[in-house]
Amino acid sequence: MSKAEIKTRATEVDVADFIAALPAERRREEAAIIDAMHRRVTGLDPRMWGPSIIGYGSYDYVYDSGRSGTMCRAGFSPRKAALTLYLTDHHGDRQADADALLARLGKHKTGAACLYVNKLADIDLSVLEALIALSWQVMNERYPT
C-alpha cells in the first residue's frame, strides 16, 4: 500500500494577495483582523499552507502509525461557510483554561483541532486572541524549536 501524500504544505502564494482575492468583503476584513491577532501572538509573518490556510510557524510531527509531516503551529482559513481557526485540541494541564475561554467566546463550534466562527461580530475578540495565545504556548511547549 502506498503512503498517502500530504496535501497541506507551505506554498509561495502571497498571503496579502490571497486575502485581497477573497470574494466577500466581510471575509477580507475578518481575515485581516485574525491575521493581525496571529501576528501579535506569534511575532511571525504568515505563509500560505495548501490553497486556503494562512499559517504561522511550523512543526514536525510523527503519528503512532509512523506517518509524519510538517504543519503550521497556528493558522486559520477564511472559508465561505465559516472562519476556521486551527488550534491545538490537547491543552494538557491547561484544558480548564481553554474550556473557560471557549465558554466566554460567544457563538462558535468546535471539531478536532478546529474552531468555527460564522462571523467575528458573534464573538469576543479578546477571548479569541487569548485562545490563540494559549494554543500557541501549548504548541511551543509540545514542539520546542
Summarised one tens digit per residue, pLDDT across range 48-82 is 999 999 999 999 988 889 888 899 999 999 999 99
Which has the higher per-residue pLDDT, 107 or 63? 107
* Residues near 34 by beta carbon (within 8 Å), at least 6 away in sequence: 54, 76, 78, 83, 85, 120, 128
| Separation CA 3–CA 1 (nearest Å) | 7
Which has the higher per-residue pLDDT, 95 or 2? 95
The count of C-alpha atoms lying within 13 angstroms of the C-alpha of 80, restricted to the half-sphere facing its C-beta, is 2
Backbone angles phi, psi at 115, to 5 degrees: -120, 125
pLDDT in the model for residue 2: 38
| Separation CA 71–CA 117 (nearest Å) | 22
pLDDT in the model for residue 127: 99
| Separation CA 46–CA 52 (nearest Å) | 12
Question: Considering only the top CATH level, what class is 15-142?
Answer: alpha beta
Res. 4 pLDDT band, cuts 50 70 90: low
* Residues near 120 by beta carbon (within 8 Å), at least 6 away in sequence: 30, 33, 34, 83, 128
Domain ranges of the chain: 15-142
The count of C-alpha atoms lying within 13 angstroms of the C-alpha of 40, restricted to the half-sphere facing its C-beta, is 14
Res. 1 pLDDT band, cuts 50 70 90: very low
Terminal CA-to-CA distance of the chain, rounded, Å? 33
